[in-house]
Chains A and B, each alone.
Chain A
Amino acid sequence: MSLRLLKKTLLRLGFWCLIGVLLLYAVFPFYYAIVTSLKPSGALFQVSYWVESPDFSNYAAVLHQASFLRAIGNSLVVALCVVTLALFLSVTAAYALGRVKFRGRGTVLMMVLGVSMFPQVAVLSGLFEVIRALGLYNTSWALILSYTIFTLPFTVWVLTTFMGQLPHELEEAAIMDGASPWVTLTRVLLPLLWPALITTGLLAFIAAWNEFLFALTFTLTDTQRTVPVAIALISGGSPHELPWGLLMAASVLVTVPLVILVLIFQRRIVSGLTAGALKG
């Protein structure tokens, strides 16, 4: 009997140890960034895992940089535009792909998926030419366009799956009630897709918020830069100094909104990711 108890206790202990390791692995980098950001530059290279006296000078310095605030504004505009544009296009596409039976539907879906498989670097030069030709270089539109291109395959696929899971009879009931396809989509199907919309919207937002390569390539001036590029370009007093404190403070500042967003929509995200997996 006691042997069984011992085994049970050990198993439980092992389980929590594993969780502890995972948690440490996932959270420690972020935690260390916070700790670093709260240290004065003098104390930067003393390794410590706890902040005795928080020092907000780094935050004050970052927030006093006009270009950083400008970058946050740019990022916000770009990310929100990308989310709006991508959701609108993918909901309408998903309605067609998920609800309407037509020849070549599978091919279209496969092409959409195929496009998303190209690495960013592979299309960078081509996209650069397109953006130059459209006269969008060094504007927010350049980023909105390119992010939307890379977000759409994902949002279209996720929303098509969700759309396909909604019962057909619901749509037919709307048809019997005299609803046009647009009314059916906006007043019957869309309200049921909210969890999916929030999930995909948030993921699209995060992707646009964190994107670096395109942002670096398609913008030139401080006024058009987004946050990731702005942080990367923060420099110290001399070429040999990396202002770690400032970098960490800026990173924390741009990550916190995301964490808050995710926490707010956490329940929605989970229900969105698992909706349709179980009946009920």
Chain B
Amino acid sequence: MIKLKLDNVNKQLGGMQILRDVNLEIAAGEFVVFIGPSGCGKSTLLRLIAGLDSICAGNLLIDGQRVNDLEPRERGVGMVFQSYALYPHMSVYDNISFGLKLAKTEKSTLRERVLKTAQILQLDKLLQRKPKELSGGQRQRVAMGRAMAREPDILLFDEPLSNLDASLRVQMRNEIARLHARLSSTMIYVTHDQVEAMTLADKIVVLNGGHIEQIGSPRELYERPASRFVAGFLGSPKMNFLAARLHTPGETSLVDTPVLGMTSLPFDSSHLAAGTLLSLGVRPEHVSLKAAGGAVGIVVAGVEYLGSETYVHLETGQEEPLICRCEVSAGWQAGDRVELQLDIDNLHLFDNDGTVLERHPQAIETRPNEVSLRSDRAPAL
């Protein structure tokens, strides 16, 4: 069932186009995460849904009803703010019950609801405290309690964990996930932290420059990014991009890259002209290294040791070093000479505009599943 629908939503502010033709459907009970770089419009989108900002063009539908002109309280949404925005002069109890009081809820119901909310969030013992006597995590929970107390169908979170320290962030992340499982209300969550997005979301919406780049499950987005932007935005360390030139277009493309040489790849490029500039994307975990004999191969520029794994930086003559995620036991050291092997099933090819080229289904079977760097094409040292 569709809970919330954005239909060609636009937002301008001071002559700037903040959001452009945003279309999105969110099912009831779904956990949706908006992610994107700062200034991409994700917070604005959340505020439009909340009713704190007005929509310039397009429709916002909740339960099939157009709610563009409804007040926030009439939309059945609750919101958790980045800075918590608790009322400093009110106790936890009063903070949570403020909305209920304004809605003229009956006294007994009000008390019951507040106590229930407090219990879910483990705030029972803190009800008489003031916000300044609470820790960061507790304040965060009060902020959630305040948003939940009126039992809205949709809960909005605006970067709720960004003010917490790292360990507390992991803990609160798990609590939010549990809360979602328990309340099964629709949640929309804005973050710039991809770990939060990947772990919490049923559906991730990647925004860039005011429009939606891609919508999909975390796995879809990670494994089948629709654009170079999404590919580079998700994943850490980020995807490696190698400059390439299309040599022969077709259902499988013959591609020339300075690093790999001329390679045939199973991507459909029949709509492009020969000579088009492309970029070949490969994630660090899909690059494997083999020791190269003698003075050929690529030089290891540096090694980052992380305990569970190492990141090997390779000098390929491109703008950025190519990063490869290796096991610690491989024991690579700066100065070693290596040969590259790329996992062909996990390569991505993007055209000049950053759109991904479609993978040619049959081609995968017939091709060898790895491409190797031809040692004679190693960059001159």
Contact = CB atoms under 8 A, between A and B. Distances in A.
B58 to A, nearest CB: 22
Contact of B87 (A175, A176, A178, A188): A188
Contacts of A191: 89
A173 B81 contact: yes
B102 A173 contact: no
B81 A178 contact: no
B103 interface: yes
Interface string B121-154: 0000000000000000000000000110010000
A22 interface: no
Contacts of B88: 192
B161 interface: no
B326 interface: no
Given A167-B83, A169-B85, A176 B103 contact: no
Given A183-B102, A191-B89, A192-B89, A176 B78 contact: yes
Contacts of A167: 83, 85
Interface residues of B, number: 24
Contacts of B85: 167, 169-170, 172-173
B263 interface: no
A177 interface: yes
Interface in A153-204: 167, 169-170, 172-179, 183, 188, 191-192
**Most chain B CB neighbours (cut-off 10 Å) among A167, A176, A188, A191:** A176
B113 to A, nearest CB: 14
B81 A177 contact: no
Nearest to B102: A178
B81 A169 contact: yes
Nearest to B156: A176
A192 B77 CA distance: 26
A169 B82 contact: yes
Chain A binding surface, main DSSP class: helix
**Most chain A CB neighbours (cut-off 10 Å) among B50, B82, B99, B150:** B99
Given A169-B83, A172-B52, A178 B89 contact: no
Given A172-B52, A173-B81, A179 B87 contact: no
A176 B79 contact: yes
B93 to A, nearest CB: 14
B233 interface: no
A175 B73 CA distance: 8
B50 A176 contact: yes
B235 interface: no
Nearest to B86: A173
Given A170-B87, A183-B102, A192-B88, A176 B82 contact: no
Contacts of B103: 178
A266 to B, nearest CB: 21
Contacts of B77: 176
B72 interface: yes
Contact of A176 (B83, B89, B147): B147
A179 B81 contact: no
Contacts of B83: 167, 169
B140 to A, nearest CB: 14
Contacts of A172: 52, 79, 81, 85
A-B pairs with lowest CB-CB distance, top 4: A178-B73, A177-B99, A169-B85, A173-B85
Interface of B: 50-52, 71-73, 77-79, 81-83, 85-89, 98-99, 102-103, 146-147, 150
12 contacts: A167-B83, A169-B81, A172-B81, A174-B98, A175-B72, A176-B73, A176-B79, A177-B150, A178-B71, A178-B99, A178-B150, A191-B89
Interface of A: 167, 169-170, 172-179, 183, 188, 191-192
Given A173-B86, A177-B73, 12 more contacts: A172-B81, A173-B79, A173-B85, A173-B146, A174-B87, A175-B51, A175-B72, A176-B73, A177-B150, A178-B102, A179-B102, A188-B87
